[in-house]
Amino acid sequence: MRITLRVWRQLGPTDPGRLETRDVPDVSPDMSFLEMLDVVNEGLIAAGETPIAFDHDCREGICGACSMMINGVPHGPNRATTTCQLHMRTFRDGDTIVVEPWRAKAFPVVRDLVVDRSALDRIISAGGFIGVSTGSAADANATPIPKTVADRAMDSAQCIGCGACVAACPNASAMLFTAAKVVHLGLLPQGQPERYRRVLSMVRQMDLEEFGGCTNFGECQDACPKEINVAVIGRMNADFLKASLSNRDEAA
Amino acid sequence: MHWARAFAESTIGKKIFMAASGVILVGFVLVHMTGNLLMFQGPAAINHYSAFLKSSAPLLWAVRITLLVSVAVHIGSAWSLTLVARAARPARYARHHAQVSTWGARSMRTGGVLLFGFIVFHLLHLTTGNVHPEFSPSDVYGNVVVGLRMPVVAAFYVVAMIALGLHLAHGVSSLFQTLGLNHPHWNPIRHRLAIVLAVLVFTGFSTIPLAVAFGVLR
Amino acid sequence: MNLRSKVPAGPLEKKWDQHRFDLKLVNPANKRKYTVIVVGSGLAGASAAATLGELGYNVKCFCFQDSPRRAHSIAAQGGINAAKNYQNDGDSIFRLFYDTVKGGDFRAREANVYRLAQVSVDIIDQCVAQGVPFAREYGGLLANRSFGGAQVSRTFYARGQTGQQLLLGAYSALERQIARGTVQMFPRTEMLDVVLVDGRARGIVTRDLVTGAVQSTAADAVILATGGYGNIFYLSTNARGCNVTATWRAYRRGAAFANPCFTQIHPTCIPVSGDYQSKLTLMSESLRNDGRVWVPKARGDKRGPAELAEADRDYFLERKYPSFGNLAPRDIASRSAKEVCDEGRGVGETGLGVYLDFSDAISRLGEETVRDRYGNLFEMYQRITGDDPYRVPMRIYPAVHYTMGGLWVDYNLMSTIPGLHVLGEANFSDHGANRLGASALMQGLADGYFIIPYTIGDYLASTKPAKVDETHPAFREVESEVKGRVTRLLSIQGHRSVDSFHRELGRLMWDHCGMSRTAAGLKRALARIPELRAEFWRDVRVLGGEEEFNQSLEKAGRVADFMEFAELMCLDALHRAESCGGHFREEYQTPDGEAKRNDDEFAYVAAWEYTGDGNAPRLHKEPLDFEAVHLTQRSYK
């Protein structure tokens, strides 16, 4: 099949960048989207042009590196699929495909389709952990956890930190990312001692990184390759309210 | 930083303020709408009701101040969150396809601005009478019938109520989420409640300008 | 070169306890005076960096990914073993130890494996305390599943994403230390060389992948946790970024490389579909519990699976291994699939694939039950191939998955370069010639959480390294070598892309040093590799600049190192004239085609020493003595 690619090229954070049009004549429907870009890049190299930069690593949908807005949708049109697992058979012969980087102030463009997502790491660093130093743990079965609770914690813990939620949100909000971690740890008995302290500092960091606020559009949930539900945001809101009222010293 | 200030300055805090003030305003809208329907019982009923509301000045002002503060908080939070959101995405997408967000959700900001304009007009029109052709402080019934006889004004009232309906359709369901009252089991009910409320409020309010326009109320 | 393993004396089960007592300690107030570099942020690197930070060391952690959370440990699916015996099914530390040594075909060091089994129980405790949401039973206690090579249920898991959850646990511990200032994180920074001062590892030279700046970092000790080298085959289940550069550069500075030919092939991967293929995706081995593996009986039979009658099908695993059938171990299942494809009976367009058929399971158990068990996997398969496995048999083929070889380390996880420690898949230690399922995660975390924090203290306390900083001439020298290499890669401006060279190298290695090997093939590869390497340095085309974000340049450096490493791998495979675990030499098999070990001549670790470019590496042998287990021939008939 043949497609027309309109792809964002930008040398660095200060370059204004532009969409470049490329004709890609030799696409196999069995290629993944990234393999299609590999082929385009091989062609560029042969022609002496610099290849398109894009983040990718595991290519099996779990590392969270790939990050592309494909025809205006993060990771492309398929549900619960990362860009690396999106295959060209999803598109039709003759399609024009627009590819852009995630866009958010907190995700400055490094080059072409590569953005800097270290803001997400800093949110985790602010409190997305259980403060247990190595060696001090009790026996793993000392605290039983109901299966349903463990399963719900796992639902949130599946986040791959790709940033699709931010990319999809009209407000460029990182609430789904932040809430997924707050809820994962907040559901487990091990996470209780730091529960309110955690939500306060993670939300503060999230705001400091200049992500937008949540206005309940729901786009993040739809874009999330791991189908994390916006219910986690509601739970985080409640925890935040409770934390602000009950842990005033920490909140200050 | 004082905890309350930290709370108010956080994006979640602002949303919670918006939701809380929204609850008050929704309550007001429902009471207001119920009162309006007295129009259909004739001039005496509505004028009597109006006089009753104004019978205690301290109470009246307490309610008015609460409402003013709520509106201010509601708009202030929205304004501030809008600025944050704008700043959070300085470069726009060449192509962006919203997948699931509803009309209601996407029209919150423009709808909100329209509603604010409507409220100002409505107060000048039927509370203070500044923009009313024949305003009489004691004859609410007459004010309404005369005031809505102009088709443009009636149409504006109906349009504003459409905006209010949309605003509530997203806002009411959204405020539960913002206040953390979100449970997969209750979510369908929450969304339905918002729709029912939105339709109810739109119908309840719109019947009056329509009734005036079609000569049911005269 | 001295291969002193430093395994402590005394009975097996007392060695680690005694050793921990004998190890010197660093006074808490002095720990922050020591700087430790950790390269890599996977399970081993992140757990080591976090734990050393907690202890108070000044840690600097480097990874080439944009975030430490993306290291390839994240992709491990199945689970993590631990000798908890929660199922009361007869497990014990000794049994886990025994299974691991036997599974590794008796090519691992007993004392290390025993210690691994001992600390396995602490890992689970630690991870649960960190909030890792392991699967649980309704009673609230942890669930276990069984895994290949074991007769007990000792594998802990978090759906099909155990590696992800364990890594995120270690990553959160790491982020906590970053916030406390004990760990400084350098993402998108690739280590390109080790720096030695007075014979000790005292730092590294890195390239900032965003700005292209080549910089030095000095430290009192260096830890490499940089994973395996499976990507030498170009196509593997590894992430695209996985590479041999860190360990290869260390080897060139004097660290011995042990058993480089021990690679593991996983039998159930999605087959290659075209030349553009960049990655092979693993399908969980659990599929073999209900799927039946078959190919057409006749060569070149191109009819679709539905048109082939029962009589035209060869269920070759069931035929050859009647008692284990489709559940034969990884290496055996992989080799059998290769055999039938080599005979021209493979399926699919490329002829490199065999069917994994669920139609019997669906008619026996019903589609619902099958969906319950394998729903996610079927979905993933359909997403990638476009075929619906409920209607059409899956096609699978073996793929390179893990490398047991790595830098040689002693009992303290220190390489032959003093001060250079190696953890996780990057070292050679615990899996011998074949790794059992769910043991890689266990080893990475054991090394990082529970071993290196003790042993590195001993190194620092007993050597008391002198102050060295980045102004030392040794750093200047290595920096200029690194810069020289980078400039050279960019200046060639030849005709072929980096990927085309990598693909050719991979093909060569897969053909001659892959699932089965012969002396003749290895010799052919050994003749071809230097030619290919010369071509690479003559004709590679790397575009873009030096001081900018340049992914082609990153790849070029990694492929250049694979080109050198390939030779060592083939050399090791050629010298090991026996078949064991993942290393199958066609000349050494039993009459019915099974791997034939030669314990008299090859019960040793082959550790190779670099002797300069153009010179043959020198082989050193660390003999393996088995006191606790008896050497036996594996049989799965």
Q: Is the residue at C25 inside a domain?
A: no
Of C131, C178, C549, the CB nearest to A190: C131
A residues 108-167 near B, CB within 8 Å? none
Of A35, A48, A137, the CB nearest to C543: A48
Question: Could you tell me if A84 and A174 lie in one domain?
Answer: no
* Residue to test with chain A: of C138, C240, C450, most A Cβ within 10 A: C240
The whole-model pTM stands at 0.96
Question: Could you tell me if A55 and A123 lie in one domain?
Answer: no
* Closest-CA residue to C195 (of C39, C358, C73, C316): C39
Question: Could you tell me if C89 and C220 lie in one domain?
Answer: yes
- Whole-angstrom CA distances from C59 to C217, C412, C461, C495 are 11, 19, 17, 43
Query: Contact, C482 vs C527, CB < 8 A?
Result: no
Structure tokens at A66: 């790939």
Q: How far is CA C635 from the centre of its chain?
A: 25
Are the beta carbons of C543 and A55 separated by less than 8 Å?
no
d(CA B212, CA B149) in angstroms, rounded, equals 6
* Residue to test with chain A: of C52, C80, C172, C185, most A Cβ within 10 A: C172
Question: Could you tell me if C67 and C166 lie in one domain?
Answer: yes
Specify the pLDDT at position A72. Answer: 97
Question: Could you tell me if A223 and A198 lie in one domain?
Answer: yes
Are the beta carbons of C136 and A150 separated by less than 8 Å?
yes
Question: Could you tell me if C363 and C431 lie in one domain?
Answer: no
Domain harbouring A239, CATH code: 1.10.1060.10
pLDDT digits (tens, 9 = 90+) for A208-246: 999 999 999 999 999 999 999 999 999 999 999 999 998
pLDDT at residue A251 greater than cutoff 80: no
* Domain termination residue (choose one: A111, A133, A148): A111
Question: Could you tell me if A87 and A203 lie in one domain?
Answer: no
Q: How far is CA A59 from the centre of its chain?
A: 15
Q: How far is CA B2 from the centre of its chain?
A: 32
* Domain termination residue (choose one: C345, C372, C400): C400
Q: Does C275 touch chain A (CB under 8 A)?
A: no
Q: What is the domain range of residue C350?
A: 266-400
Structure tokens at C140: 């609230």
Q: Which of C70, C154, C330, C634 is catalytic?
A: C330
Question: Could you tell me if A134 and A27 lie in one domain?
Answer: no
Question: Could you tell me if A104 and A121 lie in one domain?
Answer: no
pLDDT at residue A42 greater than cutoff 80: yes
pLDDT band at C636 (very low <50, low <70, confident <90, very high): low
Q: Is the residue at C212 inside a domain?
A: yes
CA distance A233 to chain B (A): 8
Are the beta carbons of A252 and B3 separated by less than 8 Å?
yes
Specify the pLDDT at position C160. Answer: 86
Q: From the CB of residue B149, how many other CB atoms can be counted at a distance below 10 Å?
A: 16
Q: How far is CA C241 from the centre of its chain?
A: 13
Q: Is the residue at C1 inside a domain?
A: no
Question: Could you tell me if C447 and C502 lie in one domain?
Answer: no
Structure tokens at A13: 């954070």
pLDDT at residue A118 greater than cutoff 90: yes
Reply yes or no on whether C383 is catalytic. Answer: no
Q: Is the residue at C434 inside a domain?
A: yes
- Touching status, chains B and C (3+ beta-carbon pairs under 8 Å): no
Are the beta carbons of C67 and A120 separated by less than 8 Å?
yes
CA distance A114 to chain B (A): 15
pLDDT band at A117 (very low <50, low <70, confident <90, very high): very high
Question: Could you tell me if C326 and C378 lie in one domain?
Answer: yes
* Domain termination residue (choose one: A51, A85, A111): A111
CA-angle at B5, arms to B3 and B6, nearest 5°: 65
pLDDT digits (tens, 9 = 90+) for C68-122: 999 999 999 889 999 999 999 999 999 999 999 998 999 999 999 999 999 999 9
Of A105, A231, A234, the CB nearest to B88: A105
Question: Could you tell me if A203 and A104 lie in one domain?
Answer: no
CA distance C56 to chain A (A): 12
Question: Could you tell me if C236 and C272 lie in one domain?
Answer: no
Question: Could you tell me if A123 and A237 lie in one domain?
Answer: yes
d(CA B1, CA B19) in angstroms, rounded, equals 24
Structure tokens at C331: 């290496």
Lowest mean pLDDT among A203-207, C299-303, C442-446: C299-303
Specify the pLDDT at position A243. Answer: 95
d(CA B183, CA A229) in angstroms, rounded, equals 11
Are the beta carbons of B3 and A249 separated by less than 8 Å?
yes
Query: Contact, C556 vs C502, CB < 8 A?
Result: no
Are the beta carbons of A237 and B10 separated by less than 8 Å?
no
Domain harbouring C478, CATH code: 1.20.58.100
Q: Is the residue at C368 inside a domain?
A: yes
Strand order across the beta sheet in which C145-146 lies = C80-81, C153-156, C145-146
Question: Could you tell me if A125 and A181 lie in one domain?
Answer: yes
Domain harbouring A93, CATH code: 3.10.20.30
Instruction: Give the SS3 label for residue C295.
Output: strand
Tally of domains in chain C: 3
pLDDT at residue A38 greater than cutoff 70: yes
Tally of domains in chain A: 2
Query: Contact, B16 vs A241, CB < 8 A?
Result: yes
* Chain A residues with CB-CB distance to C179 below 8 A: 125-126
pLDDT digits (tens, 9 = 90+) for B51-102: 999 999 999 999 999 999 999 999 999 999 999 999 999 999 999 999 888 8
Question: Could you tell me if A30 and A106 lie in one domain?
Answer: yes
* Domain termination residue (choose one: C400, C432, C447): C400
Q: Rg for chain B (alpha carbons), in Å?
A: 19
CA-angle at A32, arms to A29 and A37, nearest 5°: 105
Specify the pLDDT at position C509. Answer: 98
Question: Could you tell me if C118 and C53 lie in one domain?
Answer: yes
Q: Which other chains touch chain A, taking contact as 3+ CB pairs less than 8 Å apart?
A: B, C
* Domain termination residue (choose one: A51, A76, A111): A111
Structure tokens at C64: 């080439």
Question: Could you tell me if C192 and C312 lie in one domain?
Answer: no
Q: What is the domain range of residue A8?
A: 3-111
pLDDT at residue C148 greater than cutoff 80: no
B residues 25-64 near A, CB within 8 Å? none
Question: Could you tell me if A107 and A121 lie in one domain?
Answer: no
pLDDT at residue C591 greater than cutoff 90: no
pLDDT at residue C637 greater than cutoff 70: no
Q: Does A19 touch chain B (CB under 8 A)?
A: yes
C residues 17-46 near A, CB within 8 Å? none
d(CA C411, CA C428) in angstroms, rounded, equals 11
Specify the pLDDT at position A104. Answer: 98
Q: Does C181 touch chain A (CB under 8 A)?
A: no
CA-angle at A163, arms to A160 and A168, nearest 5°: 130
* Domain termination residue (choose one: C430, C463, C496): C463
Q: Is the residue at C7 inside a domain?
A: no
* Residue to test with chain C: of A58, A148, A205, most C Cβ within 10 A: A58
Q: What is the mean pLDDT of each run of 10 residues along chain B (218 residues)?
A: 90 97 97 96 95 94 97 97 97 92 91 97 95 92 94 96 96 94 84 95 96 90
Question: Could you tell me if C245 and C150 lie in one domain?
Answer: yes
Q: Give per-residue burial for B6-44: e unless 16+ CB within 10 Å, then b.
A: bbbebbbbbbbbbbbbbebbbeebeeebebbebbeeebe
pLDDT band at C182 (very low <50, low <70, confident <90, very high): very high
pLDDT digits (tens, 9 = 90+) for C383-424: 899 999 999 999 999 999 999 999 999 999 999 999 999 999
Residue pointed to by tokens 């014979």: C199
Question: Could you tell me if C386 and C413 lie in one domain?
Answer: no
Enter the DSSP assignment of C574: H
Question: Could you tell me if C421 and C452 lie in one domain?
Answer: yes
Query: Contact, C36 vs C218, CB < 8 A?
Result: no
- Touching status, chains C and A (3+ beta-carbon pairs under 8 Å): yes
Q: Is the residue at C66 inside a domain?
A: yes
Q: Is the residue at C10 inside a domain?
A: no
Question: Could you tell me if C491 and C421 lie in one domain?
Answer: no
Strand order across the beta sheet in which C406-407 lies = C406-407, C257-258, C604-609, C618-623
Enter the DSSP assignment of C107: -
Domain harbouring C240, CATH code: 3.50.50.60
Question: Could you tell me if A56 and A148 lie in one domain?
Answer: no
Are the beta carbons of A154 and C133 separated by less than 8 Å?
yes
Instruction: State mean pLDDT over C223-246.
Output: 98
